[in-house]
Amino acid sequence: MTKTTSRHFLDILAKVPDFRNNRGKRHPLSAILGLAVIAMMCGCRSYAAIAEWGRTYHSDLPKALGFRRTKTPCASTFHYVFKDLDAIALENTLTDWALTVLEGLSHETDTQALAIDGKTLCGSDKQGATIRHLLSVVSHQLGITLTQQPVNAKTNEIPIATQILQALDVSGKIVTTDALLTQKAFCQTLREKNADYVLPVKANQKQTYQDIKLLFEPETPPKTDVDPQDYQARVFETLHQEADAHFDTYSCMENEHGVITTRTLTTSTLLNEHLAWPGLAQVYEYRTHRKHRRTGKITHHVQYGITSLSTAQASAQRLLELRRGHWAIENLSHRTRDMLLGEDASQVRCGNIPHVMATLRNTVLTLLRISGYTKIAQAFRFFAARPTEALKIIQNPILDN
């Protein structure tokens, strides 16, 4: 990794506002948060495990993190601090840091694409919990979570997504989401923020869905001896020639885990004037064909979508990469938090604890990935045996502009 100007990660944590009164405060907030991050890197999944790990690991750890006492906080202290900590302020502080990190890495990899998706905190989804669902923004390429905001039971992801866009600098970025956020107001906000979108269209946008489907799947041929696919391809091509519209197709094949998968994405500009979507530049059809080699079972999936990216900005190949890349939020973030950091298994639900713990899990994954660790489970095993190496990561300067 190319090194740039940098600063201490504990300095970042020191910016988080501390709600506690100075009188009687035993442990600095930045030290508590730093200990939680290191313990999670060593495999701890709960605040109780973090507290036990901190008191078991006897070394220069407390002094290095800024503790004024040799004994680190107990579990009840973590509970008290995390319950009343301003989770939004914590989130905003780490969001600013993550954006800085992403900008610092922009010369090394493609950081344009961002995925927005929600995640329910299953173990915390109980009566009395204040936070049960979080909406996250994750970088496609790096799996870095830039921000996440709570979605309470009285609303849904749509207004929260708009709030995120208003607060986050997405200028020059390409945003992907699931079909729930395929809304005209959401697209309008993106265009006003100088950002682009690649969004799936499903039944929640009934008329748009039907129009795109009819374009890519015209009526069946009048004669039974005509191959339907050939007929549809000829009709599709003729329509574009007559209207002087552009279309493009790209296919790729994978043979992994006993499954042969063929993906085909076709774009069209024919509906740009017909569909009243802000900034619409192309519509697309994304087909997936899977054949299981052992059983011979074949499955098909078709997705339709819209994008503000012009034909000059994105070919069919680029759009296919972006739609596949959207699942980075599931594979690199949500699944990792569940499988390796025990997020779904966690049953904490008091105050802001679920949100704070989720934010710290994201921070751990970001620190590991910008430090060059791509195999997260392997990294946890490494740090569990060498805690001082985990300490070095947050002691060493962090990428900055």
Q: What is the reported pLDDT for 2?
A: 37
Kindly list the structural domains of the chain, giving each domain's residue range(s) and its CATH number in brackets, ordered by start.
6-172+329-399 (no CATH), 194-313 (2.20.130.10)
DSSP string, 103-164: HHTTTTS---EEEEEEEE-GGG-STT-S--EEEEEEETTT--EEEEEE--TTS-HHHHHHHH
Average pLDDT value for the chain: 87
Instruction: Look at residue 103 in the predicted model and tell me its pLDDT.
Output: 80
> What are the C-alpha distances in Å from 187 to residues 152, 191, 198, 372?
23, 6, 10, 35
Q: What is the mean pLDDT of residues 60-69?
A: 87
Q: What are phi and psi of 13, to 5 degrees?
A: -65, -30
223 — pLDDT class (breaks 50, 70, 90): low
For 224-235, the pLDDT digits (tens) are 666 777 777 888
How is 244-294 classified by DSSP, letter by letter?
A: T--EEEEEEEEEETTEEEEEEEEEE-TTTTTS--TT--EEEEEEEEEEETT
Q: Give the residue carrying structure tokens 């999936």.
A: 301
The pair of structure tokens assigned to 120 is: 């329910």
Return the percentage of the chain with pLDDT > 70, whole number: 90
**What pTM value is reported for the model?**
0.86
Residue % of the chain over a pLDDT of 90: 52
Q: Looking at per-residue confidence, does 181 or 400 come out higher?
A: 181
Q: Which residues pair with 137 in a beta bridge?
A: 116, 147
Angle, nearest 10°, between helix axes 353-370 and 376-385? 90
